[in-house]
Structure 1
Protein backbone atom coordinates (compact mmCIF):
# COMPACT_ATOMS: atom_id res chain seq x y z
CA UNK A 1 0.00 0.00 0.00
CA UNK A 2 1.23 3.47 -0.89
CA UNK A 3 1.02 5.92 2.02
CA UNK A 4 0.50 9.59 1.40
CA UNK A 5 1.58 12.44 3.69
CA UNK A 6 -1.70 12.38 5.65
CA UNK A 7 -1.43 8.62 6.22
CA UNK A 8 2.12 9.08 7.48
CA UNK A 9 1.06 11.96 9.73
CA UNK A 10 -1.79 9.89 11.18
CA UNK A 11 0.57 6.97 11.80
CA UNK A 12 3.05 9.35 13.44
CA UNK A 13 0.32 10.69 15.72
CA UNK A 14 -0.71 7.15 16.67
CA UNK A 15 2.90 6.16 17.38
CA UNK A 16 3.20 9.21 19.64
CA UNK A 17 -0.07 8.43 21.42
CA UNK A 18 -2.12 5.41 20.37
CA UNK A 19 -4.85 6.52 22.77
CA UNK A 20 -5.38 9.88 21.02
CA UNK A 21 -8.93 10.41 19.80
CA UNK A 22 -9.71 10.72 16.11
CA UNK A 23 -10.62 14.35 16.81
CA UNK A 24 -7.23 15.02 18.43
CA UNK A 25 -5.41 13.40 15.53
CA UNK A 26 -7.60 15.27 13.06
CA UNK A 27 -6.66 18.54 14.73
CA UNK A 28 -2.97 17.66 14.33
CA UNK A 29 -3.19 16.62 10.68
CA UNK A 30 -5.93 18.95 9.43
CA UNK A 31 -8.77 16.47 8.94
CA UNK A 32 -12.15 15.82 10.54
CA UNK A 33 -12.46 13.04 13.09
CA UNK A 34 -14.55 10.98 10.66
CA UNK A 35 -11.93 11.38 7.89
CA UNK A 36 -9.22 10.22 10.32
CA UNK A 37 -11.35 7.21 11.31
CA UNK A 38 -11.86 6.26 7.66
CA UNK A 39 -8.12 6.48 7.02
CA UNK A 40 -7.24 4.51 10.16
CA UNK A 41 -9.75 1.83 9.18
CA UNK A 42 -8.20 1.69 5.69
CA UNK A 43 -4.68 1.50 7.18
CA UNK A 44 -5.82 -1.39 9.40
CA UNK A 45 -7.55 -3.20 6.52
CA UNK A 46 -4.46 -2.86 4.30
CA UNK A 47 -2.10 -4.11 6.99
CA UNK A 48 -0.13 -0.85 7.19
CA UNK A 49 -1.25 -0.67 10.83
CA UNK A 50 -1.17 -4.13 12.34
CA UNK A 51 -2.78 -3.37 15.68
CA UNK A 52 -2.62 -1.43 18.91
CA UNK A 53 -1.05 -2.56 22.14
CA UNK A 54 0.04 -1.41 25.55
CA UNK A 55 3.79 -1.05 25.97
CA UNK A 56 4.59 -2.40 29.42
CA UNK A 57 7.90 -1.90 31.17
CA UNK A 58 9.63 -5.29 31.47
CA UNK A 59 10.80 -4.15 34.92
CA UNK A 60 7.18 -3.79 36.02
CA UNK A 61 6.75 -7.49 35.23
CA UNK A 62 9.95 -8.42 37.06
CA UNK A 63 11.88 -9.17 33.85
CA UNK A 64 14.92 -7.07 34.73
CA UNK A 65 17.64 -9.11 33.02
CA UNK A 66 18.13 -9.31 29.30
CA UNK A 67 20.53 -11.08 27.00
CA UNK A 68 21.30 -11.51 23.33
CA UNK A 69 21.99 -15.07 22.25
CA UNK A 70 23.56 -16.11 18.97
CA UNK A 71 22.37 -19.48 17.66
CA UNK A 72 24.63 -21.65 15.57
CA UNK A 73 22.55 -24.28 13.79
CA UNK A 74 23.17 -27.57 11.97
CA UNK A 75 23.45 -27.60 8.20
CA UNK A 76 20.73 -25.71 6.44
CA UNK A 77 18.24 -25.21 9.26
CA UNK A 78 15.31 -23.23 7.87
CA UNK A 79 14.51 -19.87 9.48
CA UNK A 80 10.91 -21.04 9.87
CA UNK A 81 12.11 -24.02 11.97
CA UNK A 82 14.13 -21.70 14.20
CA UNK A 83 11.18 -19.32 14.53
CA UNK A 84 8.78 -22.13 15.42
CA UNK A 85 11.13 -23.51 18.07
CA UNK A 86 12.02 -20.24 19.81
CA UNK A 87 8.48 -18.86 19.69
CA UNK A 88 7.59 -21.41 22.37
CA UNK A 89 9.70 -19.51 24.90
CA UNK A 90 7.94 -16.44 26.33
CA UNK A 91 11.34 -15.10 27.38
CA UNK A 92 12.35 -14.75 23.71
CA UNK A 93 11.06 -11.27 22.89
CA UNK A 94 12.82 -10.97 19.55
CA UNK A 95 14.51 -13.24 17.03
CA UNK A 96 16.14 -12.62 13.67
CA UNK A 97 18.30 -14.37 11.14
CA UNK A 98 21.60 -12.53 10.78
CA UNK A 99 24.72 -12.28 8.67
CA UNK A 100 28.04 -13.54 9.98
CA UNK A 101 28.88 -16.85 11.59
CA UNK A 102 25.72 -17.27 13.66
CA UNK A 103 22.44 -18.26 12.04
CA UNK A 104 20.12 -16.31 14.33
CA UNK A 105 20.13 -13.77 17.13
CA UNK A 106 17.67 -14.00 20.01
CA UNK A 107 16.71 -11.25 22.44
CA UNK A 108 15.80 -12.71 25.82
CA UNK A 109 14.21 -11.03 28.85
CA UNK A 110 14.13 -12.84 32.18
CA UNK A 111 13.91 -12.33 35.92
CA UNK A 112 17.61 -12.86 36.63
CA UNK A 113 20.80 -14.39 35.21
CA UNK A 114 19.85 -17.89 36.41
CA UNK A 115 16.54 -17.59 34.54
CA UNK A 116 18.44 -16.55 31.38
CA UNK A 117 20.73 -19.55 31.85
CA UNK A 118 17.78 -21.96 32.10
CA UNK A 119 16.22 -20.51 28.93
CA UNK A 120 19.51 -20.82 27.04
CA UNK A 121 19.87 -24.42 28.21
CA UNK A 122 16.38 -25.26 26.93
CA UNK A 123 17.03 -23.53 23.61
CA UNK A 124 20.44 -25.22 23.24
CA UNK A 125 18.69 -28.58 23.69
CA UNK A 126 16.77 -28.08 20.43
CA UNK A 127 17.88 -30.72 17.92
CA UNK A 128 19.14 -28.23 15.32
CA UNK A 129 21.25 -26.09 17.71
CA UNK A 130 24.98 -26.80 17.57
CA UNK A 131 26.01 -24.11 20.05
CA UNK A 132 25.06 -20.73 21.47
CA UNK A 133 26.98 -17.60 22.36
CA UNK A 134 25.36 -15.18 24.78
CA UNK A 135 25.86 -11.63 26.00
CA UNK A 136 24.12 -10.20 29.07
CA UNK A 137 22.97 -6.57 28.76
CA UNK A 138 24.50 -4.37 31.45
CA UNK A 139 22.64 -1.16 30.67
CA UNK A 140 20.54 0.25 27.83
CA UNK A 141 22.12 3.28 26.21
CA UNK A 142 19.60 4.13 23.48
CA UNK A 143 16.10 2.79 22.97
CA UNK A 144 13.58 4.26 20.55
CA UNK A 145 9.93 3.23 20.46
CA UNK A 146 8.83 1.23 17.39
CA UNK A 147 8.26 3.42 14.34
CA UNK A 148 10.50 6.24 15.55
CA UNK A 149 14.09 6.89 14.59
CA UNK A 150 16.51 8.44 17.07
CA UNK A 151 16.34 12.01 15.80
CA UNK A 152 12.66 12.08 16.76
CA UNK A 153 11.25 11.87 13.24
CA UNK A 154 9.11 8.93 12.28
CA UNK A 155 10.24 6.22 9.95
CA UNK A 156 8.76 6.12 6.53
CA UNK A 157 8.06 2.85 4.87
Structure 2
Protein backbone atom coordinates (compact mmCIF):
# COMPACT_ATOMS: atom_id res chain seq x y z
CA UNK A 1 0.00 0.00 0.00
CA UNK A 2 1.18 3.48 -0.79
CA UNK A 3 -0.15 6.97 -0.10
CA UNK A 4 -2.51 6.81 -3.11
CA UNK A 5 -4.04 3.58 -1.81
CA UNK A 6 -4.48 5.17 1.60
CA UNK A 7 -6.15 8.22 0.06
CA UNK A 8 -8.50 6.01 -2.00
CA UNK A 9 -9.46 4.11 1.15
CA UNK A 10 -10.13 7.38 3.00
CA UNK A 11 -12.35 8.58 0.15
CA UNK A 12 -14.23 5.27 0.03
CA UNK A 13 -14.83 5.49 3.80
CA UNK A 14 -16.39 8.90 3.24
CA UNK A 15 -18.50 7.75 0.28
CA UNK A 16 -18.50 4.07 -0.56
CA UNK A 17 -20.61 4.79 -3.65
CA UNK A 18 -18.09 7.16 -5.23
CA UNK A 19 -17.34 6.26 -8.83
CA UNK A 20 -13.86 5.28 -9.96
CA UNK A 21 -13.94 8.41 -12.12
CA UNK A 22 -14.68 10.67 -9.12
CA UNK A 23 -12.05 8.94 -6.99
CA UNK A 24 -9.52 9.25 -9.80
CA UNK A 25 -10.13 12.98 -10.13
CA UNK A 26 -9.49 13.43 -6.42
CA UNK A 27 -6.26 11.42 -6.34
CA UNK A 28 -4.92 12.26 -9.80
CA UNK A 29 -5.40 8.86 -11.47
CA UNK A 30 -7.55 7.51 -14.27
CA UNK A 31 -10.72 5.59 -13.39
CA UNK A 32 -9.15 2.36 -14.64
CA UNK A 33 -6.05 2.89 -12.46
CA UNK A 34 -8.28 3.44 -9.41
CA UNK A 35 -10.27 0.31 -10.25
CA UNK A 36 -7.08 -1.76 -10.49
CA UNK A 37 -5.96 -0.47 -7.09
CA UNK A 38 -9.35 -1.18 -5.48
CA UNK A 39 -9.40 -4.67 -7.03
CA UNK A 40 -5.86 -5.35 -5.75
CA UNK A 41 -6.71 -4.11 -2.24
CA UNK A 42 -9.80 -6.33 -2.27
CA UNK A 43 -7.80 -9.38 -3.43
CA UNK A 44 -5.14 -8.67 -0.77
CA UNK A 45 -7.77 -8.47 1.97
CA UNK A 46 -7.18 -4.81 2.73
CA UNK A 47 -10.77 -4.13 1.66
CA UNK A 48 -12.88 -6.84 3.28
CA UNK A 49 -16.18 -5.91 1.67
CA UNK A 50 -18.63 -3.24 0.73
CA UNK A 51 -21.75 -2.58 2.77
CA UNK A 52 -24.58 -0.22 3.56
CA UNK A 53 -24.56 1.49 6.95
CA UNK A 54 -28.04 2.19 8.28
CA UNK A 55 -29.28 4.45 11.03
CA UNK A 56 -30.37 2.02 13.78
CA UNK A 57 -33.18 4.34 14.90
CA UNK A 58 -34.51 4.69 11.36
CA UNK A 59 -34.79 0.89 11.03
CA UNK A 60 -36.39 0.49 14.46
CA UNK A 61 -33.44 -0.63 16.58
CA UNK A 62 -32.52 2.53 18.49
CA UNK A 63 -31.73 0.93 21.85
CA UNK A 64 -28.11 -0.15 22.17
CA UNK A 65 -26.24 -1.70 25.07
CA UNK A 66 -22.75 -2.88 25.88
CA UNK A 67 -22.73 -6.14 27.81
CA UNK A 68 -19.80 -7.62 29.68
CA UNK A 69 -20.09 -11.40 29.57
CA UNK A 70 -18.65 -13.51 32.40
CA UNK A 71 -18.32 -17.28 31.83
CA UNK A 72 -18.09 -20.30 34.10
CA UNK A 73 -14.66 -21.84 33.77
CA UNK A 74 -12.62 -21.47 30.60
CA UNK A 75 -14.64 -20.80 27.47
CA UNK A 76 -12.65 -20.23 24.29
CA UNK A 77 -13.39 -17.73 21.51
CA UNK A 78 -14.84 -20.37 19.17
CA UNK A 79 -17.32 -21.47 21.84
CA UNK A 80 -18.29 -17.86 22.61
CA UNK A 81 -18.82 -17.28 18.88
CA UNK A 82 -21.05 -20.37 18.69
CA UNK A 83 -23.08 -19.18 21.70
CA UNK A 84 -23.64 -15.65 20.35
CA UNK A 85 -23.80 -15.97 16.54
CA UNK A 86 -27.48 -16.93 16.34
CA UNK A 87 -28.73 -14.08 18.53
CA UNK A 88 -29.78 -11.44 15.97
CA UNK A 89 -29.58 -8.57 18.46
CA UNK A 90 -25.82 -9.21 18.88
CA UNK A 91 -24.18 -6.82 16.42
CA UNK A 92 -20.64 -7.22 17.68
CA UNK A 93 -18.81 -9.47 20.13
CA UNK A 94 -15.15 -9.51 21.10
CA UNK A 95 -12.97 -11.26 23.64
CA UNK A 96 -11.31 -8.79 26.00
CA UNK A 97 -8.71 -8.52 28.72
CA UNK A 98 -9.78 -7.90 32.30
CA UNK A 99 -12.40 -9.66 34.38
CA UNK A 100 -15.00 -10.12 31.64
CA UNK A 101 -14.56 -12.88 29.08
CA UNK A 102 -16.25 -10.95 26.26
CA UNK A 103 -17.80 -7.62 25.40
CA UNK A 104 -21.04 -7.83 23.44
CA UNK A 105 -22.90 -5.01 21.70
CA UNK A 106 -26.67 -5.47 21.43
CA UNK A 107 -29.23 -3.48 19.42
CA UNK A 108 -32.94 -3.72 20.10
CA UNK A 109 -36.23 -1.91 19.40
CA UNK A 110 -36.73 -0.80 22.99
CA UNK A 111 -35.82 -1.76 26.56
CA UNK A 112 -38.28 -4.68 26.62
CA UNK A 113 -36.72 -6.10 23.45
CA UNK A 114 -33.27 -5.49 24.97
CA UNK A 115 -34.30 -7.41 28.09
CA UNK A 116 -35.38 -10.38 25.94
CA UNK A 117 -32.06 -10.26 24.07
CA UNK A 118 -30.15 -10.21 27.36
CA UNK A 119 -32.07 -13.32 28.43
CA UNK A 120 -30.85 -15.06 25.26
CA UNK A 121 -27.25 -14.02 26.01
CA UNK A 122 -27.52 -15.23 29.61
CA UNK A 123 -29.27 -18.55 28.91
CA UNK A 124 -26.35 -20.81 27.85
CA UNK A 125 -24.94 -22.83 30.76
CA UNK A 126 -21.42 -21.50 30.06
CA UNK A 127 -22.56 -17.94 30.92
CA UNK A 128 -22.26 -17.11 34.61
CA UNK A 129 -23.38 -13.47 34.56
CA UNK A 130 -23.50 -10.25 32.58
CA UNK A 131 -23.09 -6.55 33.33
CA UNK A 132 -24.83 -4.10 31.01
CA UNK A 133 -24.68 -0.43 30.13
CA UNK A 134 -27.30 1.15 27.86
CA UNK A 135 -25.94 3.70 25.38
CA UNK A 136 -27.40 7.17 25.89
CA UNK A 137 -25.57 9.21 23.24
CA UNK A 138 -23.11 8.29 20.51
CA UNK A 139 -20.38 10.93 20.61
CA UNK A 140 -17.95 9.66 17.99
CA UNK A 141 -18.36 6.84 15.49
CA UNK A 142 -15.62 5.84 13.07
CA UNK A 143 -16.67 2.78 11.12
CA UNK A 144 -14.36 0.99 8.73
CA UNK A 145 -11.18 2.52 10.11
C-alpha distance in 2 between matches for 1:74 and 1:32: 57
- Unaligned runs of 5+ residues in structure 2 are none
Match of 2:131 among 113, 133, 142: 133
C-alpha distance in 1 between matches for 2:121 and 2:57: 23
> Counterpart of 1:85?
83
| Alignment TM-score, normalising by the size of structure 2 | 0.96
Q: Which runs of 4+ in 1 moved over 3 A?
A: none
Where 1:71 maps in the other structure, the secondary structure is: strand
Give the deviation of 1:141 after TM superposition: 2.2
Where 1:58 maps in the other structure, the secondary structure is: coil
| Alignment TM-score, normalising by the size of structure 1 | 0.89
Aligned residues between the structures: 145
> Counterpart of 1:44?
42
RMSD of aligned C-alpha atoms?
A: 1.0
> Counterpart of 1:68?
66
Give the deviation of 1:145 after TM superposition: 3.2
C-alpha distance in 1 between matches for 2:50 and 2:18: 12
- Unaligned runs of 5+ residues in structure 1 are 148-157
Give the deviation of 1:85 after TM superposition: 1.4
